[in-house]
Amino acid sequence: MKNIFKNKSILIAGGTGMVGLPLTEKLKDLGAKIYVASLDKITKQQMKIVKKFYKLDLINVQNCIKVTKNKDYVFNLLGVTGSPKINYSNPGSFMMSNLYCAVNLLYASQINNVKRYLYTSTYGVYGKKLKMSENNVWKDFPSEHDKYAGWAKRMGELQVEAYAKEFNFEGLYIVRPANIYGPNLNFNPKNSMVVASLIKRICDNENPLTVWGDGSNIRDFVFCDDVASAMIKVVKKNITKPINIGSGKGTSIKKLVSTIINSKYIKNKPNIIFDKKKKSGDKKRVLDTSFAESKGIKNNTKLDNGIDKTLKWYQSNKNEVNKKFNYFSK
């Protein structure tokens, strides 16, 4: 199959995070000219690869127009994420920041004649009544635990669909990842997701370790490298229908905790207390990945291997994790 990335100028918006880093390396190996935009610092390693780094807020439409000029492709990885607690306490910030990032970057890409544009949605767009299959997304409402970010991402998807129809913008793609984890994850205790929160607290020797809920909640976890590889395949194979990116397998929170504390990188194993009085979200959130698998897109990283890689990275970069940009403390 033809290498459609060679010598192309590609913008990775939000490209300094856990998906942006492996995506940068993979696209570089394919001969692309890479540009990265982010509010976070760029690593020395990544800076050696990219043609230019823009430290700009892409909620601003003029910044979006600037960074998309003379670009062939855009990978939009932008999005404000956080724990359920942050979602409950900052619903407006969640919703509006995700909306602006989506609307402005696609608008800028269209007026600057970008040829291919990938939008990163989320499995938060799905409700909890139906199977999490691509065609079911509009048959239910986003879960109450994801409704602000979920609706914002749905609106981003709707904009992609509208632009495809009105402007004959053919190279538009939507991916819906599950819970992404891996090196360079957001470990800020104020707004980190479940994997990062558990890893940080366990590595900080919190004992006993209190976990919200009874541990029976089931989630779909996908390693960052697998997400980056999937994104490249979606664009390369021109898969213009929305597509789920996940493991397709459910892992209970109890199993996740066990996987972390039994890793070879954990020396001090805490006592675990499951606090059943605390909110723990929906009981089960697992993507149907049959469409992705039919297109040759698979999850290649087992949970224990991915957790080991994440723990190894965290323990080598403890001093850097709290320096990451935090939307809720800017």
241-293 per-position pLDDT tens digit: 999 999 999 999 999 999 999 999 999 999 999 988 877 778 899 999 999 99
What's the sign of the alpha-carbon dihedral 49, 50, 55, 60?
negative
Confidence at residue 328, expressed as pLDDT on a 0 to 100 scale: 47
Q: Are 315 and 203 in contact (CB under 8 A)?
A: yes
pLDDT of 329 higher than 60: no
Q: Measure the CA dihedral 200/203/209/214, to 10°.
A: 60
DSSP H helices in 90-135:
91-111
For 190-235, the DSSP string reads: TT--HHHHHHHHHHTT-SSEEEES-S--EE-EEEHHHHHHHHHHHH
Cα atoms found within 13 Å of the Cα of residue 63, Cβ hemisphere only = 16
Structure-token pair, residue 83: 């724990």
Q: Give the residue carrying structure tokens 């690593």.
A: 43
What's the sign of the alpha-carbon dihedral 247, 251, 257, 258?
negative
Kindly report, residue by residue over 99-120, the tens digit of the pLDDT.
888 899 999 999 999 999 999 9
Q: Give the residue carrying structure tokens 């430290």.
A: 55
Kindly report, residue by residue over 171-225, the tens digit of the pLDDT.
999 999 999 999 998 887 767 789 999 999 999 999 999 998 899 999 999 999 9
Domains and CATH numbers, the chain: 9-329 (3.40.50.720)
Q: Are 140 and 130 in contact (CB under 8 A)?
A: yes
33 SS3 class: strand
DSSP H helices in 71-193:
84-89, 91-111, 147-166
**Nearest by Cα to 35 from 96, 144, 112, 100:** 112
- Distance (Å, rounded) from C-alpha 123 to C-alpha 174? 11
- Distance (Å, rounded) from C-alpha 323 to C-alpha 327? 12
Q: Give the residue carrying structure tokens 């224990």.
A: 304
This prediction's pTM: 0.93
